[in-house]
Amino acid sequence: MTDIIKLTAAETAARIASGELTAVEVTEAHLARIEAVDEKVHAFLHVDREGALAQARAVDAKRERGEKLGPLAGVPLALKDIFTTEGVPTTVGSKILEGWIPPYDATLTKRLKAADVVILGKTNMDEFAMGSSTENSAYGPTGNPWDLTRIPGGSGGGSSAALAAHMAPLAIGTDTGGSIRQPAAVTGTVGVKPTYGAVSRYGMVAFSSSLDQGGPCARTVLDAALLHEVIAGHDPMDSTSIDAPVPPVVEAARNGSVAGMRVGVVKQFRGEGYQAGVIQRFDESVELLKELGAEIVELDCPSFDLALSAYYLIAPSECSSNLARFDGLRYGLRTGDDGTRSAEEVTSLTREAGFGAEVKRRVMLGTYALSSGYYDAYYGSAQKVRTLITRDFEKAFEQVDVIVSPTTPTTAFPIGERADDPMAMYLADLCTIPTNLAGNAAMSLPCGLAPEDNLPVGLQIIAPALQDDRLYKVGAAVEAAFVEKWGHPLLEEAPSL
């Protein structure tokens, strides 16, 4: 089992295709790993043991019939519990959808199944993806496999923890303000936010519709690229889906190079609030890029300083609209319906019981920002700032091919440390939010351990919209350089397990 769970997704798929391993053997090994360690980590909200084994048996039957298998056939995956899965619970980390069984698959779920990827189950997350730590889940926090007393990032901490704990070689996350990249950074894994609209949002429970984006999570850049290729592509069921070819991400990951590329470093992505060890590892990564043949260009993007404020007006405003559907009348939790109360009273009692504190906070913020007399002052102004941020990116990408920065200002902080200080929690989003507001593509990959606490640090790479392959080209080059420098995968084993 130990050997199987340490394989990359690409290695696993190759061994299944050759007959060296069966998909059932691989799935059973990962299910056994989940059973052994997830009681401590709490990465999964639901493990679909029978469904996963049935998918694995179907892959083995295909191979026995001589049918050609896809590049990820039989590879297990952990799916963030925000995508609908027919016949399998989808809670979005909230009590308001506890026990809800969707009648249909999200487009992303369908594409995973069509590619013969084995879905192990649904992972823990901040309720409705609102958070930076996976402490806001109604079902309890997830621990970081590097130190179980610390957060695994948010909102997709369950997916990143499953990867770091070797419970799955692949995972899916969603990124509204950094919720793929931040968990990747603090768990020593790889996470990619594709260009907005590149991966269908149909069947993904909405938080902030103009920002939400599903994407791949893995332990290597190549594995992330292989998964990216499976889930991306135009979907007529999603009105925001881009009708454009998927960039050649796998080819880029197999041929990583930064020679001759211009790499931008934004001065706004450092300063007060950044941990010294994070900055040290980032500066070393910039020097490494120089050694690999990149030209480093200093950039000034003044509007980035306003991104956090703009985001925390736009995202709550959109969530206050999206979450209006959870009224206790159509699906999910219903409280107080004893025949004596009005529909309005039932809705109020249901939301009081079903929504957590962070969700209520953001709904109230958003409702206020959209209310009569305040719309232009708050939401309208935030959208203007969003335009300025997009323009700063456009100017920057006239000078450089990609931008790099730390992914998060600090390493993983202790569970509970920021629970009573929302502003401190929101500061974890400093480096990731501008990309969501502009709709660009971005990746986080490991760039070492911070010397103060021996915890992972993430390097963020940002590319222009529809140029996602640049992420993989640069990411693969950096990853290969780290492997060569240390002689083994930099972050092979999370020590607390």
Indicate which residues carry an active-site annotation: 80, 155, 179
All residues at 6 or more sequence positions from 450 whose CB lies less than 8 Å from its CB, including other chains: 275, 277, 278, 280, 281, 411, 456, 457
- Could you give the residue ranges of the DSSP H alpha helices within 48-189? 49-64, 107-114, 157-164, 181-187
Q: Are strands 262-266 and 295-299 parallel, antiparallel or unpaired?
A: parallel
Q: How far are the Cα atoms of 127, 284, 290, 388, 442 from residue 297, in angstroms, in the given order?
A: 39, 16, 11, 21, 18
- With contact defined as beta carbons under 8 Å apart, do 468 and 439 qualify? no
All residues at 6 or more sequence positions from 447 whose CB lies less than 8 Å from its CB, including other chains: 281, 282, 284, 285, 457, 458, 459, 478, 482
Q: How far apart are CA 462 and CA 423, in angstroms?
A: 25
All residues at 6 or more sequence positions from 136 whose CB lies less than 8 Å from its CB, including other chains: 93, 126, 127, 130, 154, 155, 356, 357, 358, 359
Structural element, H or E, at residue 478: helix 468-486
All residues at 6 or more sequence positions from 334 whose CB lies less than 8 Å from its CB, including other chains: 328, 346, 350
